[in-house]
C-alpha cells in the first residue's frame, strides 16, 4: 500500500478534530455521514476515525451548499463528481457561460456554477435588466 | 401506546421505528411533572438509529432521561453537550446501545436512539417539571406535540449549522404520521375547580372538588397540534411561598404573588399592531388574528395613537406614522384589516420589529407593541436580541395564533420587554384573551418596583430582575438562600394612588422535600442567561462574555442535572462482546404537518391519499421546511409545483365543498364577495352596508363591534337587532331625553348597549368591562339631564327599555 492510500484508510482524526479542521460541529460531521454525504469513518469501534479525505469531502459539501445546492441534490451527485467539483472549484475561478449584451457598454454575465440556468431564464433576466436600464435612461 | 400497524409505517420507502408517544401530566399546586414516553421498535433486518425531533414547553426543566431496552432500565446522565455527543458517537461506533437527548431550542429537542437491533424495542422516557400558566382564576396547560415548519431568512440559512437546521426543521409530512399520541392529565388544583375545557382535542374530563382527570378520546391521535387545557377555579389563588431543601443546608424558595392592581386608569399610549400575513398564517390563523386585531382596535381610547403593520417577506405600515385614534381612523383601519390575507410570503419578522423598536414616536406616549403571529421563524435569537436592546421604551404583548405556535418566540419577546404572551387556539373564543391582554396594557404605571427580602440573604435570584406586575397575573420568583428563619418577603411599588405592598410569609425553618422547586429555580436562571439577561458580569468583550455565560449555564445545569443549551443527556447500554451492532442505518422520524398550517386542509388530504396504490398507509411527500420562501399554498401554486409538492397543490386548488356556501337568504362576508368579484379591495365599496357581521354567531362581539371610537354607540338597525328591539320603539324612547336628536339617539343607544351587556352577558364581565367603562366615560361627558321621576340615567333606561 502506498503512503497516500494508507493515509486514506488509517484514522488520523477524531470527530472533534475533523470538526475543528472544517469549522462545522461534531453533530454535523455525523449528520453528513448519516446522510451519506461523506464516507463513514474508517475502522471500527474504538479505533475508528476520520482521514484527510473526510476533511476534503466536508469542505466540498460546504462549498456546494454555499453555491445554493440543497443536501438532497448534493446527495444525488456521484461521489467522484463531488471530489472533482471540489478540486476544480479550488483550482479555477467560476466560469462565465452566458454573456448577453444589453446596451452599449453594459452586458449581463452569468456564472455557470453547478447548475447552469436555461435559456428562458437568461432571456427573462436580460429583459428585466434592459427594462431597468431603460427606465433609468428615461428618468435621467 | 399504540399497537404497531401491520405493513405500514413507511416514510420515503423507509420504515418509521417510532410506534407511539404517551404523555402523562401530574400537576399539583402550580407545578406540573410531565413524562413523555416514546416507544421505538426496529422491524427491519439491520440495526437502525432513530432520530426524532419534537417540541416541549419552552420553560420545561428537563431533568430526567431514561431508556428501557431488553428489560433493562438505563438512566441518562447530564454532561457537557459536546462531551455527551462524543460519548454517544463512540458508543455508536462500538455497536453499543446509545441514547442521546439534545436541546436545539428551548422548546425543540432531539432524541437519538442508536443501534436498535433487528426486532428490538426501546422506550425512552423524558421527564420535566414546569410551572402551570396562570392568570386570575384560570390555569392553562399547553403541551406542544409538533414542530411547525418555520421560515429561516436566507442569510441565516447560509450561516446555520446543518445538523441544527435539520433538528429545528425536521422532515414533515402531509396527511398525518403513522404513530399516535396518548395523553393523560391528573391535576390537583389549589382551589375547587369550576370548569374545565379542552379546546384542542376531544377529551374525557372528570372533576371532583379540586381534582381533575383528563384523557384524550379515541386512538391514534395525531401529533399535529398543541394540547390545551383550561381550568377555571372557584376562587383565585392566594399568595404562597414554598421552601424546599436544596443540597444539604440550602433552601430553594419559590414565591408566588397575585398583585391586585385593579381600579387604575391608564393614560394615553401609542399602539403599534404587527400582524403576521405570511403563508403559514393561511386558514384559521389569519381569520383569528384579524378578529383579535379588530377587537383590539375597539379597545383603544381617544387620546391614543396607533398604527398597523402587516408583514411577510416585506412589511407594510398602514399609515406613514402613528395616527390619532378617531372614529375616522378606526373605520379606515377596520376596513383594511378586514381585507388582510396571509399573502405576503415568508416570515421576515426582524424588519417589522426593527420598525417597531426604532421608528420615531411621540416621546410623551409610552409605546406598546401588539404582535399577532404563529411565530414560525428560525432566527428567534436575533429577534430577541433586537427587542431586548429597546426594552426600556417599547413593551411587546404577543398573541400566538394557530394550532402549533412557537411558544418560545412569543414568550421570550414578551419577557425581554416587560410584556406578556397570550395564545389563541383556533377553537377558543378570542374575547377573554384579547381583553386580558388589554387589561395588562392598561395596568398602572408603577415606579420603583422592588423586592424586600426581610433580612434573608440570597445567593441566587431567578429572575435576577423583577418581572412586570400585572393585575391578577401570578408573579413567580425563585431564590436560593443558605438557611435562615421565618420572615416576610414583599414586593413594593409606588403607584399613582400611593405605595403598594404585596407580602408573603417565607418559612425557611421547615423546608419540604420537593425536588421540583430547586430544579425550576435553576431552569429559570438558565433561561435568563440563554436569553442574554442574568447576572454574569465582568468583561465587556463579547467573546469573553459569551464564554462566561456558557460557563455559568453549564455550572447550573450540571449541578441541578438539567438540559440546557450547554448540556445534553446521554445513556449507554454496554453490550457484551459479540452482541454489538453492525453500523446502523439512519431513520429520521418524520413529523406531522401542523393542523391548519398555511390553510392546508390536512384531513381532506389524508383522506385523498390513503387509498393509493401501495396498499398500506403511505406517508405523503416530504416538505421543505426551512425554505427561504414559504408561500401561501393558494397564491403561489407555481412555486409549490416546482417544489414537486403536488399534493399540496391539489389541496390548495380544491374548490370548497357545497356546504361551505352560505344558505339562501344569508349575507356573504365582504371579503368573500370581494374575492369572488375579483376586484380585491375595491369590489364592494367599503362604506356600503351589507348588514354583515364581522363576528357571525358571536352576539357579544357583534354588539361590542358597534362601539365608536369615543365610547358611544349609534342608534342603528344593527344595534337594535343586537339588542333584540325595534328601531322605531327606540327612536321614540330617545325623544324623552329632550335634547338634540342625534345626541339623544346616541345616549339612548349607549345606555341600551350597557343594559344588554349587564343583562345578557353578566357571566362574561371580564370580556366587556373595558368597553363598558369607555361607554360610561363618554356618557359622563355628555352631562345629560336625568328625566323627571328617575333616580339616574341607568335606572331611567332600565325602566324605559324594559
Q: How far is B188 from chain A (nearest CA, A)?
A: 42
Residues of chain B with CATH 3.40.50.410: 270-441
Q: How far is A103 from chain B (nearest CA, A)?
A: 32
* More reliable by pLDDT, B154 or B422: B422
| Chain B residue with minimum CA distance to A15 | B86
Question: How far is the CA of B567 from the CAs of B56, B84, B92, B170, B254, in angstroms?
Answer: 16, 8, 19, 21, 25
Mutate which: B88, B108, B162, vs A, most A CBs within 10 A: B162
Q: How far is B565 from chain A (nearest CA, A)?
A: 14
Identify the pLDDT of residue B651: 22
Cα separation of B75 and B571, whole Å? Answer: 6
| Chain B residue with minimum CA distance to A71 | B162
Which residue bears the cell 438512566? B75
**Contact (Cβ atoms closer than 8 angstroms) between residue B586 and residue B112:** no
Identify the pLDDT of residue A98: 57
Q: Cβ B93–A44 below 8 Å, yes or no?
A: yes
Q: Cβ B161–A24 below 8 Å, yes or no?
A: yes
Q: Cβ B89–A24 below 8 Å, yes or no?
A: no
Cα separation of A89 and B777, whole Å? Answer: 73
Q: Cβ B85–A27 below 8 Å, yes or no?
A: yes
Question: What mean pLDDT comes out for the span B605-619?
Answer: 28
Question: What mean pLDDT comes out for the span B396-420?
Answer: 94
Cα separation of B780 and B774, whole Å? Answer: 10
Q: How far is B64 from chain A (nearest CA, A)?
A: 22
Phi, psi of A133 (to 5 degrees): -60, -40
Identify the pLDDT of residue B176: 82
Residue B108 reports pLDDT greater than 60: yes
How do residues B240-249 score in pLDDT, each as one tens digit? 999 999 988 8
- Partner residue facing B93 (CB), from A27, A28, A48: A48
**Contact (Cβ atoms closer than 8 angstroms) between residue B178 and residue B166:** no
Q: Which domains does chain A have, with CATH numbers?
A: 3-91 (1.10.1660.10), 96-139 (no CATH)
Identify the pLDDT of residue B606: 36
A46 close contact with B: CB closer than 8 A: yes
Q: Cβ A46–B586 below 8 Å, yes or no?
A: no
User: For residue B620, what pLDDT band results from cuts at 50, 70 and 90?
Assistant: very low
C-alpha dihedral sign at B275, B276, B279, B282: negative
Cα separation of B381 and B358, whole Å? Answer: 18
Q: How far is B167 from chain A (nearest CA, A)?
A: 10
Q: Cβ A66–B158 below 8 Å, yes or no?
A: yes
Identify the pLDDT of residue B3: 41
Residue B587 reports pLDDT greater than 90: yes
Question: Which of the residue ranges B18-32, B259-273, B302-316, B690-704 would you say has the lowest mean pLDDT?
Answer: B690-704
CATH topology of domain B240-262+447-507+514-536: Immunoglobulin-like (2.60.40)
Q: How far is A104 from chain B (nearest CA, A)?
A: 34
Question: Which of the residue ranges A63-72, B82-91, B173-182 would you say has the lowest mean pLDDT?
Answer: A63-72
Say whether domain B10-233+565-588 belongs to CATH 2.60.40: yes
Identify the pLDDT of residue A129: 79
**Contact (Cβ atoms closer than 8 angstroms) between residue B43 and residue B4:** yes
Q: Cβ A65–B162 below 8 Å, yes or no?
A: yes
For chain B, which residues lie within 8 Å of any Cβ of chain A, measuring from their own Cβ?
A: 49, 51, 82, 85-86, 89-90, 93-95, 102, 158, 161-164, 166, 580, 583, 586, 624
pTM: 0.81
Q: Cβ B82–A16 below 8 Å, yes or no?
A: yes
Q: Cβ B93–A41 below 8 Å, yes or no?
A: yes
C-alpha dihedral sign at B602, B607, B613, B616: positive
Q: Cβ A35–B586 below 8 Å, yes or no?
A: yes
Cα separation of B381 and B383, whole Å? Answer: 5
Rounded (5°) CA angle A81-A83-A85: 65
Question: Which of the residue ranges A92-101, B492-501, B606-615, B659-668 would you say has the lowest mean pLDDT?
Answer: B606-615
Question: Using CB atoms within 10 A of its CB, is residue B719 exposed (0-12), middle (13-18) or buried (19+)?
Answer: buried
- Partner residue facing A15 (CB), from B86, B94, B102: B86
Share of chain B above pLDDT 70, in %: 85
Q: Cβ B49–A27 below 8 Å, yes or no?
A: no
B598 dihedral zone (left: phi>0; alpha: psi -120 to 50; beta): left
Identify the pLDDT of residue B686: 34
User: For residue B363, what pLDDT band results from cuts at 50, 70 and 90?
Assistant: low
| Chain B residue with minimum CA distance to A63 | B158
Residues of A in contact with B164 (CB under 8 A): 25, 27-28
CATH topology of domain B270-441: Rossmann fold (3.40.50)
How do residues B417-443 score in pLDDT, each as one tens digit? 999 999 999 888 888 899 889 888 877
| Chain B residue with minimum CA distance to A31 | B163
Question: What mean pLDDT comes out for the span B529-546?
Answer: 75
Q: How many residues does chain B have?
A: 802
Question: What mean pLDDT comes out for the span B290-309?
Answer: 91
Cα separation of B721 and B296, whole Å? Answer: 23
Residues of B in contact with A25 (CB under 8 A): 161, 163-164
Question: Which of the residue ranges A85-89, B61-65, B661-665, B721-725 would you say has the lowest mean pLDDT?
Answer: B661-665
User: For residue B505, what pLDDT band results from cuts at 50, 70 and 90?
Assistant: very high
Residues of B in contact with A71 (CB under 8 A): 162
A114 close contact with B: CB closer than 8 A: no
* Chain mean position to CA B126: 22
Cα separation of B573 and B72, whole Å? Answer: 9
Q: Which residues of B206-233 are buried (b: 16+ CB within 10 A; e: fewer)?
A: ebeeeebebebeeeebbbbbbbbbbbeb
A27 close contact with B: CB closer than 8 A: yes
Helix (H, G, I), strand (E, B) or coil at B297: helix
* Chain mean position to CA B413: 12
- Partner residue facing A28 (CB), from B90, B94, B162: B162
- Partner residue facing B586 (CB), from A14, A34, A45: A34
Helix (H) or strand (E) holding B217: none
Q: How far is B51 from chain A (nearest CA, A)?
A: 11
Residues of chain B with CATH 2.60.40: 10-233+565-588, 240-262+447-507+514-536
Cα separation of B278 and B312, whole Å? Answer: 4
Mutate which: A17, A20, A34, A57, vs B, most B CBs within 10 A: A34
C-alpha dihedral sign at B722, B724, B726, B729: negative
Residue B43 reports pLDDT greater than 90: yes
A58 close contact with B: CB closer than 8 A: no
**Contact (Cβ atoms closer than 8 angstroms) between residue A86 and residue A60:** yes
User: For residue B159, what pLDDT band results from cuts at 50, 70 and 90?
Assistant: confident
C-alpha dihedral sign at A129, A131, A133, A135: negative
Helix (H) or strand (E) holding B265: none
Residues of B in contact with A15 (CB under 8 A): 86, 89
Cα separation of B156 and B159, whole Å? Answer: 5
Size of interface A-B (CB pairs under 8 A): 49
Q: Cβ B161–A28 below 8 Å, yes or no?
A: yes
Residues of A in contact with B166 (CB under 8 A): 31
Q: Cβ A16–B49 below 8 Å, yes or no?
A: no
Amino acid at each position: 500500500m502506498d503512503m497516500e492510500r494508507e493515509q486514506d484508510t488509517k484514522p488520523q482524526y477524531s470527530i472533534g478534530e475533523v470538526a475543528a479542521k472544517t469549522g462545522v460541529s461534531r453533530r454535523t460531521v455525523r449528520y453528513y455521514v448519516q446522510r451519506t454525504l461523506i464516507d463513514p469513518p474508517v475502522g471500527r469501534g474504538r479505533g475508528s476515525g476520520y482521514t484527510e479525505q473526510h476533511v476534503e469531502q466536508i469542505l466540498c459539501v460546504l462549498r456546494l451548499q454555499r453555491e445554493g445546492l440543497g443536501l438532497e441534490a448534493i446527495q444525488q451527485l456521484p461521489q467522484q463528481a463531488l471530489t472533482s467539483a471540489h478540486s476544480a472549484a479550488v483550482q479555477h475561478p467560476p466560469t462565465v457561460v452566458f454573456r448577453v449584451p444589453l446596451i452599449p457598454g453594459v452586458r449581463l454575465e452569468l456564472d455557470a456554477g453547478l447548475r447552469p440556468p436555461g435559456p428562458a431564464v437568461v432571456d427573462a433576466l436580460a429583459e428585466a435588466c434592459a427594462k431597468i436600464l431603460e427606465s433609468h435612461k428615461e428618468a435621467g | 401506546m399504540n399497537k404497531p400497524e401491520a405493513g405500514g409505517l413507511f416514510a420515503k420507502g423507509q420504515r418509521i421505528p417510532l410506534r407511539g408517544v404517551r404523555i402523562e401530566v401530574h400537576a399539583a399546586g402550580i407545578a406540573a411533572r410531565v413524562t413523555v414516553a416514546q416507544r421505538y421498535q426496529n422491524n427491519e433486518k439491520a440495526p437502525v438509529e432513530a432520530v426524532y425531533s419534537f417540541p416541549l414547553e419552552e420553560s420545561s426543566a428537563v431533568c430526567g432521561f431514561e431508556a428501557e431496552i431488553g428489560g433493562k432500565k438505563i438512566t441518562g446522565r447530564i454532561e457537557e453537550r459536546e462531551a455527551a455527543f462524543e460519548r454517544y458517537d463512540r458508543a455508536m461506533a462500538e455497536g453499543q446501545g446509545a441514547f442521546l437527548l439534545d436541546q436545539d431550542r428551548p422548546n425543540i429537542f432531539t432524541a437519538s436512539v442508536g443501534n436498535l437491533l433487528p426486532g428490538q424495542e426501546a422506550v425512552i422516557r423524558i421527564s420535566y417539571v414546569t410551572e402551570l400558566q396562570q392568570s386570575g382564576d384560570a390555569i392553562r396547560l399547553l403541551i406542544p406535540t409538533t414542530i411547525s415548519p418555520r421560515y429561516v431568512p436566507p442569510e441565516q440559512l447560509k450561516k446555520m449549522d446543518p445538523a441544527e437546521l435539520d433538528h429545528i426543521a425536521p422532515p414533515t409530512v402531509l396527511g398525518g404520521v403513522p404513530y399516535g399520541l396518548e395523553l393523560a392529565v391528573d391535576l390537583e388544583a389549589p382551589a375547587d375547580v369550576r370548569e374545565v375545557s379542552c379546546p384542542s382535542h376531544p377529551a374525557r374530563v372528570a372533576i371532583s372538588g379540586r381534582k381533575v382527570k383528563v384523557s384524550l378520546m379515541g386512538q391514534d391521535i395525531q401529533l399535529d397540534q398543541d394540547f390545551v387545557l383550561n381550568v377555571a377555579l372557584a376562587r383565585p389563588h392566594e399568595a404562597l411561598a414554598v421552601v424546599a431543601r436544596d443540597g444539604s443546608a440550602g433552601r430553594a424558595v419559590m414565591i408566588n404573588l397575585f398583585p391586585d392592581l385593579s381600579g387604575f386608569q391608564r393614560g394615553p399610549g401609542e399602539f403599534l399592531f404587527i400582524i403576521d400575513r405570511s403563508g403559514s398564517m393561511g386558514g384559521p390563523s389569519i381569520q383569528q388574528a384579524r378578529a383579535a386585531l379588530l377587537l383590539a382596535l375597539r379597545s383603544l381610547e381617544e387620546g391614543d395613537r396607533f398604527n398597523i403593520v402587516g408583514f411577510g417577506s416585506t412589511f407594510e405600515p398602514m399609515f406613514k406614522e402613528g395616527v390619532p385614534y378617531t372614529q375616522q381612523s378606526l373605520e379606515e383601519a377596520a376596513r383594511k384589516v378586514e381585507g388582510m390575507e396571509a399573502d405576503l410570503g415568508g416570515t421576515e419578522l426582524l424588519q417589522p420589529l426593527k420598525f417597531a423598536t426604532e421608528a420615531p414616536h411621540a416621546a410623551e406616549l409610552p409605546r406598546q407593541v401588539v404582535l399577532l403571529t404563529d411565530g414560525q421563524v428560525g432566527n428567534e435569537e436575533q429577534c430577541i436580541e433586537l427587542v431586548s436592546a429597546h426594552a426600556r421604551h417599547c413593551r411587546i404583548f404577543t398573541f400566538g395564533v394557530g394550532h402549533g405556535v412557537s411558544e418560545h418566540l412569543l414568550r421570550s419577546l414578551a419577557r425581554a420587554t416587560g410584556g406578556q404572551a397570550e395564545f389563541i387556539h383556533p377553537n377558543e373564543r378570542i374575547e377573554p384573551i384579547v381583553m386580558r391582554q388589554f387589561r395588562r396594557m392598561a395596568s398602572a404605571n408603577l415606579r420603583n418596583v422592588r423586592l424586600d427580602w426581610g433580612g434573608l440573604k440570597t445567593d441566587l435570584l431567578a429572575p435576577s430582575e423583577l418581572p412586570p406586575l400585572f393585575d391578577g397575573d401570578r408573579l413567580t420568583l425563585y431564590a436560593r438562600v443558605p438557611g435562615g428563619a421565618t420572615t416576610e418577603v414583599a414586593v413594593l411599588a409606588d403607584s399613582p394612588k400611593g405605595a403598594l405592598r404585596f407580602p408573603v410569609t417565607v418559612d425557611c425553618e421547615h423546608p419540604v422535600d420537593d425536588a421540583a422547586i430547586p430544579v425550576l429555580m435553576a431552569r429559570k436562571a438558565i433561561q435568563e442567561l440563554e436569553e442574554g439577561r442574568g447576572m454574569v458580569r465582568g468583561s465587556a468583550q463579547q467573546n469573553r462574555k459569551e464564554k462566561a455565560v456558557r460557563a455559568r449555564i453549564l455550572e447550573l445545569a450540571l449541578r441541578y442535572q438539567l438540559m440546557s443549551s450547554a448540556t445534553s443527556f446521554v445513556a449507554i447500554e454496554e453490550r457484551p462482546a459479540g452482541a454489538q451492532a453492525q453500523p446502523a442505518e439512519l431513520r429520521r422520524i418524520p413529523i406531522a404537518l401542523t393542523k391548519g398550517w398555511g390553510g392546508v386542509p390536512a384531513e381532506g388530504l389524508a383522506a385523498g391519499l390513503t387509498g393509493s396504490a401501495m396498499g398500506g398507509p403511505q406517508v405523503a411527500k416530504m416538505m421543505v421546511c426551512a425554505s427561504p420562501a414559504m408561500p401561501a399554498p393558494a397564491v403561489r401554486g407555481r412555486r409549490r409545483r416546482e417544489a414537486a409538492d403536488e399534493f399540496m397543490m391539489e389541496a390548495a386548488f380544491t374548490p370548497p365543498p357545497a356546504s361551505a356556501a352560505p344558505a339562501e337568504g344569508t349575507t356573504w362576508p365582504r371579503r368573500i364577495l370581494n374575492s369572488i368579484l375579483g376586484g380585491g379591495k375595491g369590489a364592494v365599496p367599503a362604506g356600503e352596508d351589507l348588514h354583515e357581521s364581522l363576528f357571525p354567531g358571536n352576539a357579544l362581539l357583534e354588539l361590542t363591534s358597534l362601539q365608536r371610537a369615543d365610547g358611544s354607540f349609534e342608534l342603528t338597525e344593527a344595534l337594535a337587532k343586537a339588542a333584540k328591539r325595534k328601531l322605531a320603539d327606540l327612536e321614540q324612547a330617545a325623544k324623552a331625553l329632550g335634547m338634540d336628536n342625534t345626541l339623544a339617539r346616541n345616549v339612548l343607544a349607549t345606555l341600551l348597549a350597557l343594559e344588554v351587556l349587564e343583562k345578557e352577558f353578566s357571566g362574561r364581565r371580564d370580556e366587556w368591562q373595558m368597553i363598558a367603562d369607555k361607554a360610561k366615560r363618554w356618557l359622563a361627558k355628555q352631562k345629560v339631564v336625568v328625566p323627571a321621576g328617575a333616580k339616574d340615567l341607568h335606572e331611567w333606561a332600565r325602566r324605559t327599555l324594559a
